[in-house]
Structure 1
Amino acid sequence: MKAYHYRFEKVLTYREQEKSETEVEFKNAVTEFETLATQLYDLLKKKEDVLGEQQERMAIGFTIDEMHHYANFISSVEKKIAELQPLVMKARSKMNWFEDRLLEKSLEVKKFEKMKEKDREHHRAEMEQLEAIQLDEMSTLKFRRRENGW
């Protein structure tokens, strides 16, 4: 009985390697997106907190300098938010692109694994058939030896 060897083993290995590399790239893209999204969230939260503090201070009363300080700070935060939003959108697009690629690579690997499983099953059936033929031949030879008196 000959050992099983999958003819597309190198292709399967290559596809699995591509999938692994894509997984790493996807994880990096997710990390980048999470970092940028967290920065954006923090800025938005800071702006909200400062606006709330400004409203409280307005109810109590505060100086023109303090008002300018709040206005400048809010303007600065809004500028940073405006700079960060396109980066977050780009990171999200990149993450989604890698997610699609990872799905595609996973499907390719599954196809080759399925083909390998079918090929292995075919090989097993073929080996069983050969074994049955050999057993039949051995039985026939044994029967003839008994008939001929060997």
Structure 2
Amino acid sequence: MNSYEYRFEKVLEYREQEKAETEMEFKKAVDSFETVATELYKLLKQKEDVIASHQEKMKEGYTINEIHSYTRFIDSLDKRIATLQQKVIKARSKMNWFEEKLLERTIEVKKFEKMKEKDREHYRTEMEQAEASLLDELSTLKFHRREIGW
């Protein structure tokens, strides 16, 4: 008997490779998102701390120069925060896109694996039928030989 060979094995391997590559790209996108989001969090935390510090200093009193300096610093933080928010949005979008692609590729691989499983089961059934048929034929020949007297 010949061994089982799935006719779409190369396609399945290609789809698995695509899935693995997409998985790597998705992980990179997640890492990138986490990096930018962490940076944004730190800036927001810094702004919060600066505002809290400013509130405490307001009780003691501020010079005009200190108020101008504080305002410029907060404006600078706001601009950096706005820029980082855009980067976070882009990184999240990229991460979600790769997540969708990964899901599509995973489903595609599962389809081919399911087809392979069904094909293998069909092959096994055919081989069992062929074996049963061969055994029947051998039994018939053996019986026929006995009757003829070989």
TM-score (norm 2): 0.97
Divergent runs of 4+, >4 A: none
Q: Report what 1:30 is aligned to.
A: 30
Q: What is the aligned-residue RMSD (CA, Å)?
A: 0.9
Task: Report how far residue 64 of structure 1 moved.
Answer: 2.3
Task: Report how far residue 59 of structure 1 moved.
Answer: 1.1
Q: Aligned equivalents of 1:14 and 1:71: distance in 2? A: 57
Q: Report what 2:67 is aligned to.
A: 67
The residue correspondences of 1:66-105 to structure 2 (distance < 5 A) are 66-105=66-105
Q: Aligned equivalents of 1:69 and 1:54: distance in 2? A: 11
The amino acid of 2:134's aligned partner reads Q
The amino acid of 1:33's aligned partner reads F
Task: Report how far residue 60 of structure 1 moved.
Answer: 1.9
The residue correspondences of 1:1-150 to structure 2 (distance < 5 A) are 1-150=1-150
Task: Report how far residue 83 of structure 1 moved.
Answer: 1.3
The amino acid of 1:39's aligned partner reads E
The amino acid of 1:107's aligned partner reads I
Q: Aligned equivalents of 1:82 and 1:125: distance in 2? A: 64
The amino acid of 1:113's aligned partner reads E
The amino acid of 2:68's aligned partner reads H
Q: Aligned equivalents of 2:18 and 2:72: distance in 1? A: 50
Q: Aligned equivalents of 1:134 and 1:30: distance in 2? A: 58
The amino acid of 2:107's aligned partner reads L
Task: Report how far residue 76 of structure 1 moved.
Answer: 1.1
Task: Report how far residue 67 of structure 1 moved.
Answer: 1.9
Q: Aligned equivalents of 2:132 and 2:71: distance in 1? A: 90
Deviations 1:99-149 (A, max 9, x none): 000000000000000000000000000000000000001101111111122
TM-score (norm 1): 0.97
Task: Report how far residue 71 of structure 1 moved.
Answer: 1.5
Q: Aligned equivalents of 1:73 and 1:125: distance in 2? A: 76
Task: Report how far residue 81 of structure 1 moved.
Answer: 0.6
Task: Report how far residue 66 of structure 1 moved.
Answer: 2.2
Structure 2: state its 5+ residue gaps.
Answer: none
Structure 2 residue matching 1:2: 3-state secondary structure: coil
- Percent sequence identity over matched residues? 69
Task: Report how far residue 69 of structure 1 moved.
Answer: 2.2
The amino acid of 2:139's aligned partner reads S
